[in-house]
Homo-oligomer: A and B are copies of this chain.
């Protein structure tokens, strides 16, 4: 694809201090301020699918605020100047119905579907993990079925809770059932903690997921884990879903279902940065619940992940 000739970048931090100026992600232009875009950051402030601590509806707000921390011109590990290379915008928030899960899912699907086109990509900030389902539907519409690369403490392939089939713990079973995923090319990374039932893992495997547990990282190392991810997804278009609780609670206290024994932030970044070259067609970063956060560390981690995903996309998209 051809990026627009001269992308409009963030507000210049040498002219407007980072604590001032617009509240868009990384102080990027709003979607209304540009003619076209390559990558859009979208907020999906919905948390009605949360089983324990709610509050992820404030995730987009918190992640945008924390993104003020970022210096953004040049990403040295990925050797890319993402906002010069492609046009990145903030697409605002999906106006969701906070009371009815089905409505919210439809709204996100419609809104994201309007933004996703062949040449554009979405990085969506949740919201709870429920939002991944409509985003995967929108991704399929734009790019066909995808290989899911899923960083999370939890499988999120349970069937129902209290009879509800659309919740933050059931989305990837639904995605599998709806044919949104390329069979046998998806993977969970960072899984840990006890399960509701021994059969959870059996079901999950049956749906075509491979599991790399958090403790596997100790055993295999970052190089090997990233190699396995690459091998798993093959040439499929990739949808990258990052539940911030893949980090240990020390690194991401601000989330709804924290789980002891997770990744350090350097480990997560080390894995993400080894995914260069994959055709990431869509992504979400979810489950930031700011009222449980501490001095923005969770939101800053999420904002950094968003920036890294944009940088990965920019390397592939830019010419």
Contact = CB atoms under 8 A, between A and B. Distances in A.
A43 to B, nearest CB: 7
A115 to B, nearest CB: 16
Q: Which 8 A-B pairs have the closest CB atoms?
A: A23-B23, A20-B93, A54-B54, A253-B295, A99-B164, A16-B95, A249-B297, A291-B291
Contact of A264 (B71, B248, B270, B297): B248
Interface string A59-100: 011001100111111111100010000000000111111111
B97 A164 contact: yes
Interface stretch (A137-145, A176-184, A191-199, A230-238): A191-199
A65 B62 CA distance: 10
A256 B265 CA distance: 18
A56 to B, nearest CB: 9
A167 interface: yes
Interface of A: 13-23, 43, 45, 47-55, 57-58, 60-61, 64-65, 68-77, 81, 92-101, 103, 161-164, 166-167, 193-198, 200-201, 213-215, 218, 222, 248-251, 253-254, 257-262, 264-266, 269-270, 291-297, 300-301, 304, 307
A215 B198 CA distance: 36
B218 A17 contact: no
Contact of A295 (B20, B68, B292): B292
Contacts of A259: 69
B76 A52 contact: no
Given A99-B49, A248-B251, A194 B162 contact: no
Given A61-B23, A92-B22, A253-B297, A260 B17 contact: no
B99 A19 contact: no
A294 B295 contact: yes
